[in-house]
Each structure stands twice: as structure tokens, then as C-alpha cells.
Amino acid sequence: MSRSKWKGPYIDKEVTFEKPTNNYLKKKVSRNTIITPKFVEQTLKIHNGKILIEVPITEEMVGHKFGEFSSTRKKFSFRKTKK
């Protein structure tokens, strides 16, 4: 179920929209915050449940949520056994 349109997009209150001097915000963002055009060309930290992952924001990401770009699962691969 999606968020109702009359409420508008969810944006975390702790995130500031000021452009930093070195294009890097040391802010942790919640995973359910929607990416707006004000976040473009910034690098934010997103928590995946264990560590903070640094994610650079591009124009293609606008409209998506931050949680889509930080995987919470490890990639699985079979180990070959030595005989």
C-alpha cells in the first residue's frame, strides 16, 4: 500500500537541505525517506541493519526510497570444495 497523496512524500526531519562545501553530508537517513531533487549530487549514509553504507545520489534515483539502494541481505555464493 502506498502513502496517500494528500500527505505528500515522507522526508526525514533530521536531514538538512543545505549544500555542503565538499558534496558530503555526514547524515544518516532513514530507509523510508523518498529521494527528492534537493538530494541530488550529495553522498548520504544509509543504515542496512548492520553498517552504514555511503550512497551517492544521482538524478535517476529521484522518486525512489533510500532503502532500495542499500541491500540488507548478503549475496550468497557456493564455495568449491577441494578434493
Residue 6 has pLDDT above 60, yes or no: yes
Q: Which own/partner pairs from 68-72 qualify as long-range (CB within 8 Å, at least 24 positions apart)? A: 70/31, 70/46, 72/48
The mean of the pLDDT values for the chain is 82
Task: Tell me the backbone φ, ψ of residue 76, rounded to 5 degrees.
Answer: -95, 140
Per CATH, the architecture of 1-70 is what?
2-Layer Sandwich (3.30)
Q: What is d(CA 55, CA 70) in angstroms, rounded to the nearest whole number?
A: 8
The answer, as to whether pTM is greater than 0.75, is no
Question: What's the length of the chain?
Answer: 83
What are the pLDDT digits (tens) for 26-45? 577 788 888 989 888 888 88
Say if residue 12's pLDDT is above 60. Answer: yes
Instruction: Determine how many CB atoms are found less than 10 A away from the CB of residue 46.
Output: 20
Of all residues in the chain, the percent with pLDDT exceeding 70 is 84
First to last CA, the chain: 51
Give yes or no for residue 60 having a pLDDT over 90: yes
